[in-house]
Chain A
Amino acid sequence: MMWPELVPLVPAYMDIANSRWLWLSTVPVVLVVLLQATIFLRRAWNDGKEMGLSEQKLKTGFKTGIISAIGPSIAVLAGMLALIATVGGPVAWMRLTVIGSVAFELPAAELGVSQFGYSLGDEGITETAYATAVWAMTLGGTGWLLVSAFGTRHMETVRTKISNGNETLIPIISAAAMLGAFAYFLSGEITAGTPETGSVAVGGLAMLGLLHLADSRDVQWLREWALGAAMLVGLLAGVALRVTVGSWW
């Protein structure tokens, strides 16, 4: 395989971690994810039309999904480098294409190898320690799958309870939950440093400006590209701050 030459210090388990067998073993689960996406998409498209959503709105949703996914996917790819160097190409690809995120997989792999006193990146990591990391990521990741598999049906009850069955309250509750969740995400970034804070602020302001422009002039394509453009501007702001002032905290 091609990985070993890319990684400067190659631990012994990397031959196995990058073997053809491991690549093969990751294919079925990725196929299930694609299958689910395909059948849900078809059903949503057909039922959406029956519900009165225009073909144009559905296309806009699909297009915006694609445009908005490109940037973050490339960012995931950048984060994947760390995982490739530690658990090999196939497992890194599988864990980040489906189920996980770098923020979960790296700590989980670390907790796996730590059972043998290693830390990720150590030279002497054994095959057994590597396998433990794989088990830790796999079994640790099933928590979300099981809760979503068996819990999703019951979640509507929670939302109905919060809104007391009041229809007009549901959009407010949903937007508030979203604002709370993203406030939590961006607080983590703001406390991380000045460039991150700049990215948050500039990304937000760019989005406000673009959406305002899209609304006032009724430019549909601008709405579809708004997130993609805002994230790029925010990224550049982060880089600019980093090379000029660095980080104050």
Chain B
Amino acid sequence: MSESQYKEENATGAGEQDVYNESFVPYVNKWGRRTNVLAVLLSLGPAVALLAVFGILPPRAAIVGAVASVAITFGWAWFIEPLSYYPVLGIPGTYMAFLSGNISNLRLPCAAAAQEASDVETGTPQASIISTVAIAASIFVNTAVLGIGSVALVSAFQALPELWRNALESYLVPAVFGAIFAQFGRDYPRVAGIGFSIALAMTLLLELGYLAFLPSYPLYAVIIVSVFGTTLIARWMWQHDMISPPDEANE
């Protein structure tokens, strides 16, 4: 991918913005909302089957108690995660990723790697299109692997030595995190250093119990401060001419 080709695509800005904002985004908003709401209803499938076929319905107090506990533990994430990942996922990616799950370990890395491979700039309409394509691809792969896996591979997995089973569960995801962080850090090394320092400091504060003054388990404080802290510092650095997008820098 040559620089000139890239510039050319950016130069035709107005027309492509129109297609994106006036055709693509309204379509995605319309169908994203419908499909996600439909999924809310259909996700009740197993619970309804337990009731309708087997006549099993837990007492209302147990359901309320369980859902309240889940809401206390994860309720912050319902709002913080979509907001925090939105800049990377884009509009269609947000509908798709929160419907299909496995966001940090699967959807975000796929979207990010595809943006790098297709050489589009994060946050632009082009990047949003590429994210959509990559996340769709990841959904097909993930559904197939888990479908085949849950029928055929589970026994093969259980035959694996424990070391390798643990390794897949424990070490693949950190490697993905390191790789994606490095990919973005390449373009903005100083922002990467700052973001990493903030997140590590916040995580250590959390683990050592210094955030205990906050309500519930304050993991939400770590993610809010990491994401928005890094964003605001990056904005400040940009305003003071300390960083610029990679294509402008061109050292």
Q: Which residues of B contact A206 (CB under 8 A)?
A: 179
Which residues does chain B contribute within 8 Å of A202, judged by CB atoms? 175, 178
Could you name 6 residue pairs across A and B whose Cβ atoms are closer than 8 Å? A134-B50, A159-B87, A184-B199, A184-B222, A186-B177, A199-B171
Known: A38-B136, A189-B174. A136 touches B184 (CB 8 A): no
Given A37-B135, A147-B78, A159-B87 in contact, is the A178-B56 Cβ separation under 8 Å? no
Q: Does B158 contact A (CB under 8 A)?
A: yes
- A174 near B174 with CB under 8 A, answer no
* Majority secondary structure, B binding face: helix
Q: Which of A160-189 contact B (CB under 8 A)?
A: 162-163, 168-189
> Assuming A24-B49, A51-B129, A200-B175, is B113 touching A64 (CB within 8 A)?
yes
- Say whether, besides A99-B43, A239-B167, A44 and B150 are in contact (CB < 8 Å): no
- Nearest 6 CB-CB pairings of A with B: A234-B175, A238-B171, A65-B137, A65-B134, A174-B123, A203-B175
Chain B residues whose C-beta falls within 8 Å of the C-beta of A116 in the assembled complex: 62
CB-defined contacts of A230 to chain B, threshold 8 Å? 175-176, 178-179, 182
By the criterion of a CB under 8 Å from any partner CB, how many residues of chain A are at the interface?
Answer: 165
Inter-chain CA distance A61–B131, complex, in Å, is 8
Give CA–CA (A149, B30) in the complex, Å.
10
Q: Which of B70-126 contact A (CB under 8 A)?
A: 70-71, 73-75, 77-79, 81-88, 91-92, 94-106, 108-126
The reply to whether B46 and A94 form a contact with Cβ atoms under 8 Å apart is yes
Contacts A62-B133, A64-B113, A152-B95 given; indicate if A203 touches B174 (C-beta within 8 A).
Answer: yes
| Neighbour of A144 across the interface among B62, B82, B186, CB < 8 A | B82
Count the A-B residue pairs with Cβ separation under 8 angstroms: how many? Answer: 635
B214 at the interface (CB under 8 A from A): no
Q: A96 and B136: CB pair below 8 A?
A: no
**CA–CA, A172 and B87, complex, Å:** 10
Docked-complex contact B143 and A135, CB < 8 angstroms: no
A204: chain B residues at CB < 8 Å are 178-179, 181-182, 185
Q: A177-B227, A183-B199, A207-B182 are in contact. Are A61 and B114 (CB under 8 A)?
A: yes
A242 B163 Cβ-Cβ under 8 A:
yes
Instruction: Indicate if the CB atoms of B48 and A25 lie closer than 8 Å.
Output: yes
**Residue of A with least CB distance to B123:** A174
